Structure 1
Amino acid sequence: MKNLTKAFAVIALTTASFATFAATEVNAAPTGAQSIGVVSATGGNDLTSLENKLAAKAAQQGASSFRIISAGGDNHMYGTAEIYK
């Protein structure tokens, strides 16, 4: 029982810490935010996996939000996103 409680605590803390560092997708440049660059990603076979990869790269760069500016591909997706802080 003690191990189960520890496992739930670890999962909860991991999820909470990931949520605080995740960049959120926006449809337009956020008011008052500064563009800090562009990230690109490839791989995955659907738009959701591409969005997740772009969000992870944006978060690695310290962005608070990102806006997808291009995406394409059939079975192998690729895309770029502008990142904001």
Structure 2
Amino acid sequence: MKFIKTFVAVAALSVLSFGSFAQSISASASTLSAAEAKIAAQAEKANASYKITSARTDNGVYMTAELTK
């Protein structure tokens, strides 16, 4: 019984830590540098760090990133 209570407590705490803050953002521009600058500006506005998850070039650049606090 004690094992089950401990397991439930650990599971609940791990869900809370993963759900704290994660947001996907995107930006488009004519160059990679300009698109990343837009992502960085959005991250700074949200007071968060960012990790670029994808970038596509096709007559311009489309970039997505994930913000984390």
Say how many residue pairs are matched.
51
Question: Normalising by the residue count of structure 2, what TM-score does the alignment of the two structures yield?
Answer: 0.61
1:76 Cα deviation after fit: 1.3
Identity %: 40
Partner residue of 1:76?
60
AA at the equivalent of 2:23: G
What value does the CA root-mean-square deviation take over the aligned residues? 1.9
1:46 Cα deviation after fit: 1.6
1:8-59 CA-partner distances (Å, limit 9, x unpaired): xxxxxxxxxxxxxxxxxxxxxxxxxx6421111112x221111101000111
AA at the equivalent of 1:56: A
AA at the equivalent of 1:67: K
Is the partner of 2:41 in helix, strand or coil? helix
Q: How does 1:5-84 map to 2 (within 5 A)?
A: 35-43=21-29, 45-63=30-48, 65-84=49-68
- Looking at secondary structure, tell me which structure has more strand per residue: 2
Question: Normalising by the residue count of structure 1, what TM-score does the alignment of the two structures yield?
Answer: 0.51
Structure 2: 5+ residue stretches without partners: 1-19
The 8 Å contact of residues 41 and 78 in structure 1, kept in 2 or not, is answered as: yes
Larger radius of gyration: 2
